[in-house]
Amino acid sequence: MRYVKLGKTGLEVSEVGFGCIPIIRLSTAEAVTVLRRAYDRGITLFDTANMYLDSEEKIGQAFEGLRSRLILASKTLKRNLAGAEADIDLSLRRMRTDYIDLFQIHQLSLESDYQAITGPDGALEAIFRAKQAGKIRRIGVTSHGIEMAIKLVKTGLFSTVQFPFNFIESAPAEELHPAARQEEMGILAMKPFGGGALDNGELCFKFLRQFPDVIPLPGFDAVEQVDQIVAVYETENAVFPEDLAAMESFRTELGQHFCRRCEYCQPCEQGVMITPAMNYPIIAHRMSGPKAAGFAAKTMESVRNCTECGECMERCPYNLPIPEMLKKHLALYDEHIAGT
Ligand code: SF4
Ligand code: SF4
């Protein structure tokens, strides 16, 4: 494992980090085992969030006594001063620490949110105060909106930027990453597997390792997964024409209209299981139609309740035409049922 400087933050981190959403699926004992395995294999950067249920608590439990060897990153979704202040203190308590290396404003994609956090009594004021008090070392931001992310980079308010980056979402390499480099910011890559749309881990990391100053944050929920990715980092990276062709084939298959499983669209008042239903064609591709229809029956039957109200669409950071896509996926499911 190599260790690299995270922009001009002064933080040195492992060249691959650990995105701590998946540990919420694990029992505390299992999560501690996976986190400790990552640490033992050289991973030092752990990125969590106040909203990831008990993720911070599990990190606190896993790393008692090891604090000075880790770089801990967390985030708040709160937009106001009081909310952000409370979240920072909660994160400190849960992670059993008296400082957070990197504290980020979470999912800042809308202009209204930007106005809220920078306005009077906005979340940024709480974060500045916490930094002054020594509770936070560096301030970062995460976003799913490319134009907003570029704007945020240029404000000079943040030391790091975190954005989805993988070979089907490679746009950040064109403008966002160069802009962040110009400001000497640290660059973090969420969703290295396309939010679950990509199942070829080796190919994903062949792509990502071409950008050694961009630190990917894969999520792990098993020690074997940690070992696999760390093993990839123990080899020299080489991207061959057949790898490029495979990436292109994934891009063509998924197109621009694919769901990153971020779950911001949920919940649906009609009980539609939006995220798995949005991914039905991927499951069908992997399993064959009839098998997928059986496997996803509960999910796809819930789509029949959709009233096309459009509320989920307003919450989707990728502006996906969700009701329209769900309709198409339901038609595909019905074809598969008919074929069984
Ligand atoms: S458009 Fe359909 S899936 Fe989306 S919130 Fe409305 S009812 Fe639910
Ligand atoms: S439909 Fe949009 S908001 Fe919902 S999970 Fe997919 S990408 Fe995220």
Shared domain for 154 and 286, answered yes or no, is no
**Which atom of ligand 1 is least distant from the CA of 308?**
1
- Stretch 9-24: mean pLDDT: 93
Read off the tokens for 188.
């973090």
> Residue 280 corresponds to which amino acid?
Y
Q: Which residues are paired to 136 by β-bridges? A: 100
180 CA to centre of ligand 1 in angstroms: 36
**pLDDT at 290 exceeding the cut of 90:** no
Whether residues 57 and 181 share a domain: the answer is: yes
Boundary residue ending a domain (240, 259, 283): 240
Whether 109 and 58 map to the same domain: the answer is yes
List the structure tokens of 129: 């105060």
Same domain, 210 and 78: yes
Mean pLDDT of the chain: 92
pLDDT for res 252: 80
Same domain for 313 and 191, yes or no, is: no
Give the residue-averaged pLDDT of 53-58: 93
Residue 285 CA to ligand 2 centre (angstroms)? 19
Q: Is 194 left (phi over 0), alpha (psi -120 to 50) or beta?
A: left
Domain that holds residue 162: 3-240
Share of the chain above pLDDT 90, in %: 75
Q: 272: Cβ below 6 Å to ligand 2?
A: no
Q: Ligand 2 in contact with 295 (CB < 6 A)? A: no
Residue 129 has pLDDT above 90, yes or no: yes
Q: Kindly state whether residues 331 and 185 are assigned to the same domain.
A: no
pLDDT-derived band at 255, boundaries 50, 70, 90: low
Count of the separate structural domains present in the chain:
2
- Any atom of ligand 1 within 6 Å of the Cβ of 306: yes
Would you say residue 258 lies in a domain? Answer: no
For helices 201-208 and 241-254, the axis angle rounded to 10 degrees is 110
Can you give the CATH number for the domain in which 46 is found? Answer: 3.20.20.100
The answer to whether position 18 is within a domain reads yes
Mean pLDDT of 185-208: 88
Q: Using the mean position of ligand 2's atoms as its centre, give its distance from the Cα of residue 317 in Å.
A: 7
Confirm whether 93 is domain-assigned.
yes
One-letter amino acid identity for 274? Answer: I
Please indicate whether residue 31 or residue 110 has the higher confidence score (pLDDT).
31
Reading across the β-sheet that carries 214-216, which strands appear in turn?
Answer: 18-19, 45-47, 71-76, 100-105, 136-142, 160-164, 186-190, 214-216
| pLDDT higher than 80, residue 265 | yes
Task: Indicate whether residue 311 lines ligand 1 (CB < 6 A).
Answer: yes
The answer to whether position 188 is within a domain reads yes
Write down which residue in 187, 217, 240 finishes a domain.
Answer: 240
Note the pLDDT tens digit of each residue in 89-114. 999 999 999 999 999 999 898 888 99
Q: Would 249 be classed as within a structural domain? A: no
Bridge-partner residues for 166, per DSSP? Answer: 169
Rounded average pLDDT over 294-322? 93
